[in-house]
Amino acid sequence: MIELEIYARGVRDMDKILELDHLLSALPGLRSKVDRNHDLVYLEVDEPVDVSAAQIEAAFRRAGLNPRFVGALPPELAPAG
């Protein structure tokens, strides 16, 4: 399992949380938890990884949020090349 932490200013808004939850639930093997007090989203990704950092970022952007990965991005989620 891979754990990620994402800072997303504005994720305290319940409408944004619901939309983001809907978008992230469509990604395979991904679970999320929101810390509304700190604008953080914690993600767990099952291995083998069937999702990319770009897909995660796109879900946040579609929900109207600007995600910032906290810490180093695991190589399993980084784009190939």
Q: Which of 76, 53, 10, 71 is nearest to 20 (CA)?
A: 10
Task: Say which CATH topology domain 2-69 has.
Answer: Alpha-Beta Plaits (3.30.70)
Q: Which of 52, 63, 50 is nearest to 23 (CA)?
A: 63
N-terminal to C-terminal alpha carbon distance within the chain:
23
pLDDT at residue 74, rounded to an integer: 87
47 three-class SS: coil
Query: Would you list the domain boundaries of the chain?
Result: 2-69
Distance of CA 41 to the CA centre of its chain: 6
Q: Which tens digits make up the pLDDT trace of 42-67?
A: 999 988 888 889 999 999 999 999 99
Q: Which of 51, 53, 64 is nearest to 17 (CA)?
A: 64
pLDDT at 81 > cutoff 60: no
Is the pTM above the cut of 0.85?
yes
pLDDT at 80 > cutoff 60: no
| Distance in angstroms (rounded) separating the CA atoms of residues 61 and 81 | 24
